[in-house]
Amino acid sequence: MATVSEDGDVMEIVPAEVRDRLAEGAHGVLVDTRALEDVRRRFDDGQAAALGRYLASAQSPNTLRAYRSDWVAFGAWCLAEGRRSLPADPVDVAVYLAAAADTLREGDPARWALSPATLERKAAAIAAVHGAHGLASPTRADVVRMTLRGIRRRRRARPRRKRPVVLATLEALLEERPAHGHPTGAARRRDALLLLTGFAGALRRSELAALSVDDVAVETDPRSGEPLLLVGLGATKTDQEARHAQQVALPRGRRAATCPVCAFADWADLLRVHHDGGAPAVRGFLEAEPAPGAAPAHRCHTYTGTGLADGTGRPLFPPIDRHGRVADRPMTGRAVADLVKRYAERAGLDADAYSGHSLRSGFATQAALGGAADREIMRQGRWTNPRTVHGYIRTADPLDDNAVTRLGL
């Protein structure tokens, strides 16, 4: 198998017209379209369409996107090798996974292109497509299961974990935001809120990208009387059906520069100006913005919320172009990760060592450094497995609760 790009694309081995045909046929790979045609014959089009919509919603959009890409790649390999993809022979699946496991990263022959986890996802995609078409899954065969087990054993390696954005790192990133005024002031305000929300809320990049203005409410801490933000998350990776109405609380920061409530107030003001007057109004607003002092004052005590939380689902973090124009659509999860990397590079850090997950892992690491208990960290981060939190604690302080400190050396 030839080398592939970093995202694991093997489609270069087949002609463009074949790639296009496979892509066109991959959109409904997890729904048996033949069965839906049978439904249309027995019921009306409206009922069949309703069934199709709900079947298509059984998996998260990210899972569907990954499965479709994996299925297209497997179909391309089958065409190139003269094999049948549906139903697939278990031996063919095992050979495909083995060949994919030996693929090297394009431009970096010292690294594998696909991780064992990615290969297991590819096998899961093949199984899902067979299941959707009422066919037995070839991945249940011993030859496929043993191949995956062998890949995991041969490819044992310490996971390449991204570095956490701890508090000192977060402050360094915030210092690298673009200047006040037009056209960079809009991104400056948005990015402050994004970084602070991702860090204090222990949010995944997909959760940040999915937030709308409706999801954020300004409340009061009943213990201190200080303002705080309550952020509703809707569907998440661990609650894909949004059954638990998960939310995180973001308290007032000690300083205005690291206060999520102040950052939300600043960004909501600009969103209101954009809503009322568009790009020209935003430009005038930013050009009239006074230069901040060395130690800006809090404004959160007098802030009560925004009228933009009107149920329309307006994205909280839209893209902003280099001219300062604010889009009407939300950022993608990839854009969130790229933003963290970009600020890390500006701060003189290794951008490759950071990702969108660095904000979430940074929360757990910083909380552990501050003496937070497992239960407290798990509650804000919505972790259900204590072992995950223990990993962050060991990263934060390897001597915590460690008998080596009692050796008397």
Q: What is the pTM of this model?
A: 0.70
Domain at 352, CATH number: 1.10.443.10
304 has pLDDT over 50: yes
Residue 379 lies in a domain: no
Q: Are residues 147 and 172 in the same domain?
A: no
Q: Are residues 322 and 204 in the same domain?
A: yes
* CA–CA distance, 376 with 392 (Å, rounded to integer): 13
Q: Are residues 149 and 180 in the same domain?
A: no
Residue 390 lies in a domain: no
Q: Are residues 86 and 109 in the same domain?
A: yes
Q: 86-100, 283-297, 369-383: which has the minimum mean pLDDT?
A: 283-297
Q: What's the total number of domains in the chain? A: 2
Per-residue pLDDT tens over the stretch 114-124: 888 889 999 99
Q: Are residues 250 and 307 in the same domain?
A: yes
Q: Are residues 179 and 327 in the same domain?
A: yes
23 has pLDDT over 70: no
Domain at 112, CATH number: 1.10.150.130
- Taking CA atoms, 343 is separated from 11, 104, 169, 339, 366, in Å, by 33, 30, 10, 6, 19
pLDDT at 25: 44
Count Cα atoms within 13 angstroms, Cβ side, for 245.
1
Q: Are residues 132 and 60 in the same domain?
A: yes
- Residue ending a domain, among 131, 154, 177, is 154
- Residue ending a domain, among 335, 361, 387, is 361
Q: What percentage of the chain reaches a pLDDT higher than 70?
A: 83
- Residue ending a domain, among 361, 377, 399, is 361
Cis peptide before 222 (omega within 30 of 0): no
* CA–CA distance, 261 with 294 (Å, rounded to integer): 19
Residue 211 lies in a domain: yes
Q: Are residues 21 and 115 in the same domain?
A: yes
* CA–CA distance, 403 with 409 (Å, rounded to integer): 12
Residue 89 lies in a domain: yes
Per-residue pLDDT tens over the stretch 227-256: 999 999 876 555 555 555 688 999 999 999
Q: Are residues 186 and 295 in the same domain?
A: yes
Q: Report the 10 Å Cβ neighbour count for 240.
A: 15
Q: Are residues 150 and 186 in the same domain?
A: no
Q: 134-138, 210-214, 281-285: which has the minimum mean pLDDT?
A: 134-138
**Close Cβ partners of 181 (under 8 Å, ≥ 6 residues apart):** 286, 287, 289
Q: Residue 344's domain spans which residues?
A: 167-361
Residue 315 lies in a domain: yes
> Which uninterrupted H or E stretch holds 218?
strand 216-220
**Confidence band, pLDDT 50/70/90 cuts, at residue 266:** very high
Instruction: Read off the amino acid at residue 151.
Output: I
Closest by Cα among 35, 27, 107 to 69:
27
Ramachandran category for residue 348: left, alpha or beta (phi over 0 → left; psi -120 to 50 → alpha)? left
Q: Are residues 209 and 356 in the same domain?
A: yes
Residue pair 91/144 in contact by the 8 Å Cβ criterion: no
What would the mean pLDDT of 26-32 be, rounded to a whole number? 55
Residue 322 lies in a domain: yes
pLDDT at 273: 95
Q: Are residues 143 and 172 in the same domain?
A: no
Residue 373 lies in a domain: no
Residue pair 358/162 in contact by the 8 Å Cβ criterion: yes
Residue 5 lies in a domain: no
